[in-house]
A and B are shown apart, each in its own frame.
Chain A
Amino acid sequence: MDINEIRKQFPVLDQQVYGKPLVYLDNAATTQKPLCVIDRERDYYLHENCNIHRGVHYLSQMATETYEHARQTVARFINAKEAHEIVFTRGTTESLNLLATSFSVLCSPFSVLITAMEHHSNLVPWQQMVQRQAGKLLVAPMDDNGVLDLQAYEELLKQGPQIVAMAHVSNTLATINPIKEMIRLAHQYGAVTVVDGAQSMAHLPIDVQDLDCDFFVFSGHKMYAPMGIGGLYGKTEWLEKMPPYQFGGEMVDTVSFEKTAFNKLPFKFEAGTPNVGAALGLETAIHFIESLDRREVAEHEDALVSATIEGLSRIEGMRFIGQAPERSGLVSFIIEGIHPYDLGTIIDKMGVAVRTGHHCAEPVMTRFGIPGTVRASFAVYNTLEEVEVLVKAVERAANMLR
């Protein structure tokens, strides 16, 4: 795998900020897009743009076909049984809102179990819906390393939550949760399982049938695809049972002023005109990921993480937040006596783009008693040289701030 060749496909990386080469280490927020993805979306608007599923004319039929082909590609990528089990959404957040809203109608009472390491997207929708139903939001705790307490998790399952929603990979702690085991346990207690794959899709192979999860949600923009597209995988039996989330065109079968019969899966959940161009970009992003040796990519990203931890741990007062043995893609840290915001501001001036703050996971920060962290997160195009720049920048900033 030639990283330099890969980097050539990401023109955005080849630029200077404040006169320094850009070192982009904010991939958990969003990855950059390869040329093939950008070209695919552009081509759609240049040659293929049309509203889908409703025209008899040539372009409309072609657009419908390519859009449905993209759905098949997503289904194949995560090994869904059927293409209609993939609902296109704007991303993880919309997928989770769809689920929370739909299940709050379906279940009464309505209680949900989440983990202590969820980001706001996999917390707030559930919390709000549970509150409307006077149900409970249960939270499975984790230890100081950011490892989920499986025993406590099982105890909470005994309280009978209808839904268990879990991060596959924590966006702040990098922890890879033992989701297969968590799903098995949840099913034992009759709960429906939702996996938040926002941080895992780009890094880990996903097989929803092997996992046996009832739902899996993800964002395209965190896996080299355009913004504004993502997905919800759901087992057919559940998608059939669930009431629609949004109403309007496209999701209907027959409509009169008195009543509406809804369309079949997956269209029942896709009200209005979808983001066709972005869906095609997502398909191309999947092709891009598949064009690489995924094991080699994982090894490369692990090497970046190890080098980062090794380099940073030489800095006085360094504290890593999240030290689970099973981890993926990112490193979160703080330095004793230095605010993450100060550190991020200074290293930004050295061309290093990292995320600082609570990473939309405030309860996680509260759990560790810190105002936030500095987070470096990696993608396939990052290099060991960039890790060196990061470590040097952090070292220099720490000296300035102390």
Chain B
Amino acid sequence: MTIKEIQNQIIEDFSMFDDWMDRYAMLIEMGKECPLIDEQYRNDQYLINGCQSRVWLHAELKDGKVYYTADSDAVITKGIINLLIKVFSGQTPEDILSADLSFLDEIGLKEHLSPTRSNGLLSMLKQMMLYAEAFRELKTEN
């Protein structure tokens, strides 16, 4: 599936719930299903640090596609990072970097989008983009 198709799928999944509790229940479920970072990367080097909860993110390039793994000590944060992983994992760096991110506004998790919210969606997103950027440069060098 393309990034756009996955995004539409997620918007559809979230739109099934009017109630915020169900949305959060879904995020919590997503947190529990997050593709976990290998223990060797669960250290400060891979930490997206913030004041509320800790998030570790790792990525690797396989056959020209980026695969992310992550973990967090807070399950909602883990749900959010897995949401992003679902969208971007298995895509090419170019597609990731040019993706339209407006779907985030549509799924009712707006409060996580505030730039001042530590460990918010934005800092995770930025880190994922940095990986994609690095892999793209790596590819052009080769």
Docked pose: A3 CA to B52 CA in angstroms: 34
Instruction: State whether B20 touches A18 (Cβ < 8 A).
Output: yes
Instruction: State whether A371 touches B20 (Cβ < 8 A).
Output: no
Q: Which residues from chain A contact B52 at a C-beta distance below 8 Å?
A: 341, 356-357, 372
Docked pose: A339 CA to B72 CA in angstroms: 10
Q: Which of A180-188, A254-262, A298-306, A342-350 contacts B (4 or more CB under 8 A)?
A: A342-350
Is A400 an interface residue when CB atoms closer than 8 A count as contact?
A: yes
Total A-B residue pairs with C-beta atoms closer than 8 Å?
A: 39
Q: Which residues from chain B contact A18 at a C-beta distance below 8 Å?
A: 20
Is A134 an interface residue when CB atoms closer than 8 A count as contact?
A: no
Q: Which residues from chain B contact A339 at a C-beta distance below 8 Å?
A: 53, 73-75, 77
Instruction: Given A339-B74, A341-B76, A345-B76, decide whether A400 and B21 contact each other with a Cβ distance below 8 A.
Output: yes
Contact code string A334-361 (vs B, CB < 8 Å = 1, else 0):
0000010110011001000000111000
B26 to chain A, nearest CB (A): 11
Q: Which residues from chain A contact B74 at a C-beta distance below 8 Å?
A: 339, 341-342
Instruction: State whether B76 touches A342 (Cβ < 8 A).
Output: yes
Is B24 an interface residue when CB atoms closer than 8 A count as contact?
A: yes
Is B134 an interface residue when CB atoms closer than 8 A count as contact?
A: no
Instruction: State whether A341 touches B24 (Cβ < 8 A).
Output: no
Instruction: State whether B51 touches A357 (Cβ < 8 A).
Output: yes
| Interface size band for A | 10 to 19
Is B86 an interface residue when CB atoms closer than 8 A count as contact?
A: no
Is B54 an interface residue when CB atoms closer than 8 A count as contact?
A: yes
Contact code string A380-402 (vs B, CB < 8 Å = 1, else 0):
00000000000000000000110
Docked pose: A357 CA to B77 CA in angstroms: 14
Docked pose: A356 CA to B76 CA in angstroms: 14
Is B84 an interface residue when CB atoms closer than 8 A count as contact?
A: no
Docked pose: A349 CA to B76 CA in angstroms: 13
Instruction: State whether A341 touches B28 (Cβ < 8 A).
Output: no
Docked pose: A174 CA to B14 CA in angstroms: 41
Instruction: Given A339-B73, A341-B77, decide whether A400 and B24 contact each other with a Cβ distance below 8 A.
Output: yes
- The chain B residue with its CB closest to the CB of A360 is B51
Q: Which residues from chain A contact B75 at a C-beta distance below 8 Å?
A: 339, 342, 401
Q: Which residues of A contact B (CB under 8 A)?
A: 18, 339, 341-342, 345-346, 349, 356-358, 371-372, 400-401
Q: List 13 A-B contacts (CB under 8 A).
A: A339-B73, A339-B74, A339-B75, A341-B52, A342-B53, A342-B75, A342-B77, A345-B24, A371-B53, A371-B54, A372-B52, A400-B21, A400-B24
Q: Which residues of B contact A (CB under 8 A)?
A: 20-21, 24-25, 28, 51-54, 73-77, 119
Q: What are the nearest 6 A-B pairs in CB distance?
A: A339-B74, A341-B52, A341-B53, A341-B74, A342-B76, A342-B74
Starting from the known contacts A341-B77, A345-B76, 16 additional A-B residue pairs (CB-CB under 8 Å) come to A18-B20, A339-B73, A339-B77, A341-B119, A342-B53, A342-B74, A342-B75, A342-B76, A342-B77, A346-B24, A349-B21, A356-B52, A357-B51, A357-B52, A371-B54, A372-B52
